[in-house]
C-alpha cells in the first residue's frame, strides 16, 4: 500500500514515460491483433483456445481466473466451440459440477493454424530488424516482465 507521500515524491517524468509506453504498446498489440479480423475466431476466443491447448485439461473456472473473464461470457463461448466441434467436455470425476475441457482433434488443428499465422506475423514484423535489435528487444521484454512480476500479483 502506497502513501500520499510516495505518490507525491514519485518523479512525474517517470510516470509519464511509463504512460507513454503503455499508449505505444497498446497500439502495437492492436496492430498485431488486427490479423484476427481475417481469421474465423475472435481475440477472446483465441485466448481461450490458447489456455485449453496449453493445459490439455482445464475447467471453466480456471479459464475465467487465468483470463479474468466473466463466467457467463465464457460459458457461451464454450457452447459455440462445442457446436463447432472444437472441444470435448467431460464431467470432472471429483466434482460433478465441473467439466474438464479439452480441444478435440479439430479444435487442436484450428488452434495450431491460428498459432502458426500469429508466429508468422511476428516473424514478419521482426524481419524489419537486424539480429542484434531482435536480441535487444527480447532483453528489454524479459527485463520488464521480471520487474513487473514482482508487483503484479
Q: Binder to DNA among 86, 87, 99, 103 (CB under 7 A)? A: 99
**Span 67-106, contacts to a copy of itself by CB under 8 A:** 68
Give me the long-range contacts of 72-77 (CB less than 8 A, separation at least 24): 73/44, 74/48, 77/44, 77/45, 77/48
Q: Rounded to an integer, what is the distance from CA 5 to the centroid of its chain?
A: 35
Q: Return the H-helix or E-strand segment holding 16.
A: helix 12-34
Q: How far is the CB of 90 from a copy of itself (least distance, A)?
A: 28
Angle at 138 between CA 114 and CA 66, to 5 degrees: 50
> Site mask, a copy of itself, residues 109-138, x = CB under 8 A?
---------xxx-xxxxxxxx---xx-xxx
Residue with cell 474438464: 100
Residue 60 partner contact from a copy of itself, DNA, none using kind-dependent CB cut-offs of 5 to 8 Å: DNA
Q: Which stretch binds DNA (CB under 7 A): 1-9, 94-102, 115-123, 144-152?
A: 94-102
Q: Which of 28, 31, 79, 147 binds DNA (CB under 7 A)?
A: 79
Amino acid at each position: 500500500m502506497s502513501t500520499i507521500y510516495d505518490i507525491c515524491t514519485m518523479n512525474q517524468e517517470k510516470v509519464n514515460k511509463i504512460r507513454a509506453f503503455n499508449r505505444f504498446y497498446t497500439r502495437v498489440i492492436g496492430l498485431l491483433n488486427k490479423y484476427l479480423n481475417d481469421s474465423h475466431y475472435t481475440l477472446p476466443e483465441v485466448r481461450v483456445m490458447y489456455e485449453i491447448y496449453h493445459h490439455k485439461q482445464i475447467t471453466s473456472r480456471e479459464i475465467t481466473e487465468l483470463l479474468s473473464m466473466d463466467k457467463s461470457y465464457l460459458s457461451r463461448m464454450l457452447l459455440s466451440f462445442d457446436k463447432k466441434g472444437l472441444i470435448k467436455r467431460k464431467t470432472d470425476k471429483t466434482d460433478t459440477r465441473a467439466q474438464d475441457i479439452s480441444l478435440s482433434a479439430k479444435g487442436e488443428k484450428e488452434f495450431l493454424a491460428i498459432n502458426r499465422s500469429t508466429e508468422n506475423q511476428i516473424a514478419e514484423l521482426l524481419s524489419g530488424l537486424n539480429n542484434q535489435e531482435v536480441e535487444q528487444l527480447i532483453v528489454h521484454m524479459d527485463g520488464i516482465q521480471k520487474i513487473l512480476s514482482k508487483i503484479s500479483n
